Structure 1
Amino acid sequence: MNLAYDYPVLGAFWTVMWIFLWVLWIVLLFRIIGDIFRDDTLGGWGKTGWLVFVVLLPFLGVFVYVLARGRSMGDREVRHAQARQRAFDDYVRETADTGAKPGNEADQLAKLSEIRSRGDITDAEFQRAKEKILH
């Protein structure tokens, strides 16, 4: 019968440490695989070579990749984050500017008159909405 006190505290510490290091290594492995695919400077054969090396000899491949390309890996991550931020900013700017585009008032007035012609709003509501659009 195994009891909890048969497993020493130092053994539990080492077990937790090894599990943590294993999970850390798995995360690093997937991050490196993502970096291999994201790298625009590598050609197809270069990506294939690194991928085969990292998959077939995982521990050695990860360490060699980090030693050989670790600095540029960080630079690529920063460039990728900046590109995502620019794309998001452009999207927000484009979305926010839709109300200020020239000609948009005409589209809104056309939709408003269509709604009035269907009888969904009264003439007074149409006039109020038209004033809001034009001012």
Structure 2
Amino acid sequence: MDTNMLAVDYPMLNIFWTMLELFLWILWFFLLFKIITDIFRSHDLGGWGKAGWLVLVILLPLIGVLVYLIARGRGMSERDIAQVRQSEAAFKAYVRDAAADTPEGRPGSHVDDLARLADLKANGSISEEEYQKAKDKLLA
């Protein structure tokens, strides 16, 4: 078999179209899984509503996904933002709890004082300059 014959059988444009089709399939599955996780994460849908959306998305994927995005697309981003905020708050609480205890088990007063200072600065009760001065005093 001639090696030049193989190159002619699958021209460059066909390679491009194959790569585009593969990319679109991957994009489609990503969107489908994103919608399925959003269906289960949504607290405003009941069990039958979740089941209905899931059946629609699985049995009629193209129409189901488009209808879901039109009907509940704005809510998807709001639920994503709420989940990120909840995760960040849980992480901050974990870090604060972990840092508040010293190895001997006594509460760390510096950590609490720094947290209070950061809250005062965030509320606008103290300026950046006052915050830096108070922080330097605590850490000294």
Q: How many residues align?
A: 103
Higher relative contact order (CA 8 A, sep 6+): 1
Aligned to 1:14: 17
Aligned to 1:52: 55
The answer as to 2:74 corresponding to 1:71 is: yes
TM-score, normalised relative to structure 1: 0.71
Report the Cα offset of residue 22 of structure 1. Answer: 0.6
What secondary structure is seen at the aligned counterpart in 2 of 1:42? coil
Runs of 4 or more off by more than 2 Å in structure 1? none
Between the aligned partners of 1:68 and 1:25, the Cα distance in structure 2 is: 18
Between the aligned partners of 1:47 and 1:70, the Cα distance in structure 2 is: 15
The alignment-based identity, stated in percent, is 52
Between the aligned partners of 1:94 and 1:26, the Cα distance in structure 2 is: 40
The answer as to 2:94 corresponding to 1:83 is: no
TM-score, normalised relative to structure 2: 0.69
Q: CA RMSD in A?
A: 1.7
Q: Choose 1 or 2 for highest CA Rg.
A: 1
Aligned to 2:105: 104
